[in-house]
Copies of this chain bind each other. A is one copy, B any other.
């Protein structure tokens, strides 16, 4: 007798109870009769779980990237913001987000309000009926996978607005972004709403996830203003180098790893050989697009600045990943190289452009997630015959307009109530001491002496 046997008894209890409700025949204590659709059910669910934990891991990637790209005096703040936003995203997606995005959208603009509950009866009934759609999947595995995507959108905002936003206003905006803004626009496409009916195509979310974070960040950056001292009176841009390049690099590798889940599991099925081939092609395209983004950024910075810029190489990887996200399945590897490389070029070109506009994006999230996200979305018709440039443009613009307007409203509401910007004194002192009450590196950070 060992742990396995015990557990089967436990499962017997829990499993049978659950399944009794649905009249299914999968209970442990009956003779085991695994149908092809039950196998597919397990594979589909497993894809969601593996994809989900990889995307969850991206939360650590954003945290490390941002912790490495801000100055020591604001590092702990980024850590708090990121673990906080990931937690809020999960809770909000349970409380309202999932159902707003997926429950009864039916060609419209929004789902329904209400707590999410795991209901496996429909999927199990389909699976048992063996009706030939490749099998169902567990409801919770789907919720888990969709939930970690929400957090990704929120992470993007955190990076752009670093070093001068106050903690609680940021967290409150996160509540709104993950509970309302993200799910509502998500319902339009992934929830089966009007954009989906038009034929808008965004496989894993160049627009639906990345540009959403990017638009919210852009609006936030404009309202919040730039960091003290970032832009000089005569148009000069003062570099404020990040505190730890290895942490920023680690964060980029974590994100690259997580993206296999982000794009690969967005195939949403692994129950057939065709699905397994699709997921594999997505893996290959995803990694080669990132690689092309890195190499493009390295060569371009070498040409433009006579030196390879590490942060541009890192953002080149991310831009390649964002660009391939809208359509990681249809391209050949050659197309994936082109799509990713253009993503890398976009970052190198647009980072200084934002600085010229005095839009202070601490980690370069707007070029990476918004600009490369638009590029990736518009590039879908190049390789996917079912998509059209016009419909893609409608998707990009409508999502952008909605997110900008909604973000603007909430950012302004926050600004004119509790305020969103740290005091000048706190910003100079560093948000770690001012808002968190500790230092990220108490023994060797320079803390308040820098800037």
Contacts and interface: CB of A to CB of B under 8 A. Distances in A.
A144 B36 contact: no
Nearest to A446: B443
A391 interface: no
A422 B266 CA distance: 45
A307 B39 CA distance: 50
A351 interface: no
A4 B277 contact: no
Contacts of A398: none
Please classify the interface of chain A as helix (H, G, I), strand (E, B), loop, or mixed, using the class held by over half of its residues. Answer: helix
A333 B106 CA distance: 26
A118 B281 contact: yes
B243 A307 contact: no
A interface, how many residues as a size bin?
35 or more
A235 B9 CA distance: 52
A228 interface: no
A273 B26 contact: yes
Contacts of A192: 1-2, 5-6
Interface string A174-196: 00000000000000011110001
10 contacts: A3-B268, A7-B269, A10-B201, A11-B267, A28-B134, A28-B274, A39-B39, A56-B257, A138-B280, A443-B450
Nearest to A293: B87
A207 interface: no
A272 B38 contact: yes
A84 to B, nearest CB: 6
